[in-house]
Amino acid sequence: MRHSTLRQLEVFETIARLGSFTRAAEELFLTQPTVSMQIKKLTDAVGLTLFEQVGKKMYLTDAGRELHQTCRDIFERLAQFEMVASDMKGLKAGKLRLAVVTTAKYFAPRLLGMFCQQYPGVEVSLKVSNRERVLERLADNQDDLYILGQPPEEVDAVAQAFLENPLVVLAPVNHPLANKKRIPLKRIAEEPFLSREPGSGTRIATERIFSEQGLKLKIRMELGSNEAIKQAIIGGLGISVLSRHTLALDAPMGQLAVLDVQGFPIDRQWYYAYPSGKQLSIVAQAFLSYLQQAPQFLVEVSCNTRPSDTELPGFVEAPTSERMEP
């Protein structure tokens, strides 16, 4: 192993992460024969087989898994040293790896953009996925920080709220309930409901508030993205509950109504999280400080999601001409 090079370890780590020699070659801008040669040299140095192929799929052997973890540790320590060295020079440089649940994609890029303006030497990797996958990444410590809609109780982690995340009931603008006030939950439970997939934080919070009243939603369809749900609402397939943040940027103009429902909006928070005991990099610490200082961006987002604000593009507030009592 002493004669193995960092380049060989980098090639191996990339193959192990992507599960493909071809994709690793593309990511590293190398030819596939070069990648194969580097792995052959590394395998000879280790003296054990690192990969095995079953059918068309490639798997790590026991030795490969141990080496993969070692590679991750080595590259993590090197990255930390580069950040420390930059910090000693009076610079903030390095890489920030952030994983967020899908709804957070509506504000995370703007949030990161403002952070990178302050620290232009920082390179950002942003992964967007559903809650289940983000929790898997958190448990496996694949990233620096994670943003979720509720604390990760399934994983031993540090979590802190940093931004409001109100959930609202959405319907087509021409829906009969769009003209009502103080709509009872029981009435909403009678409507066909469009839901996110099981395990979604939005779905968990929504089902909880209905179950507390002894009510059950009439789920007509499960959809894996907020955009699909908004289009289904516009198409008249049902109503739904989504984060108000999903309306701030790109919903079709004037085609969605926020219903005035008793118990809504559901007051929730956005949380950042990281594994308990994790030593945060200098860049990750800088990003947390940035969040905790409540930059103007967060103030604006919080203000723009208040129920009284009718200026947001992509939706209209339900008219107030009629009143519905329980």
State both tokens at 104. 């957070």
Closest CA to 13 of 67, 53, 59, 52: 67
Cα-atom radius of gyration of the chain, to the nearest Å?
24
- What residues pair up with 256 in beta bridges, in sequence order? 172
pTM (predicted TM-score): 0.62
For the cut 80, the answer to whether the pLDDT of residue 249 exceeds it is no
For the cut 80, the answer to whether the pLDDT of residue 85 exceeds it is no
The confidence score (pLDDT) of residue 298 equals 58
Where b means 16+ CB within 10 Å and e means fewer, 243-266 reads: bbbbbbeebeeebbbbbbbbebbb
For the cut 80, the answer to whether the pLDDT of residue 90 exceeds it is no
For the cut 70, the answer to whether the pLDDT of residue 86 exceeds it is no
Ranges 27-31, 109-113, 236-240: which has the least confidence: 109-113
* Mean pLDDT of all residues in 89-112: 83
List domains and CATH numbers for the chain.
6-70 (1.10.10.10), 91-164+269-304 (3.40.190.10), 167-267+308-317 (3.40.190.10)
The confidence score (pLDDT) of residue 88 equals 61
Q: What is the DSSP letter of 245?
A: G
Q: What is the DSSP letter of 319?
A: P
The mean of the pLDDT values for the chain is 83
For the cut 60, the answer to whether the pLDDT of residue 306 exceeds it is no
The confidence score (pLDDT) of residue 320 equals 37
The confidence score (pLDDT) of residue 321 equals 38
- Read off the pLDDT band of 157 (50, 70, 90): very high
CB atoms within 10 A of CB 175: 19
Residue with tokens 């007509």: 220
The confidence score (pLDDT) of residue 323 equals 39
Q: Tell me if 11 sits within 8 A of 35, measured CB to CB.
A: yes
* Mean pLDDT of all residues in 275-302: 76
Ranges 174-183, 186-195, 304-313: which has the least confidence: 304-313
- Read off the pLDDT band of 63 (50, 70, 90): very high
More confident residue, 53 or 168: 168
* Mean pLDDT of all residues in 145-153: 90
Residue 284 contacts by C-beta under 8 Å, 6 or more apart in sequence? 96, 144, 145, 274
pLDDT, tens digit (0-9, with 9 covering 90-100), for 111-145: 888 888 888 888 899 999 988 899 999 999 999 99
* Mean pLDDT of all residues in 43-57: 87
The confidence score (pLDDT) of residue 255 equals 84
The confidence score (pLDDT) of residue 114 equals 85
Closest CA to 186 of 212, 149, 204, 167: 212
Ranges 68-77, 149-158, 275-284, 315-324: which has the least confidence: 315-324
> End-to-end CA distance of the chain, in Å?
73
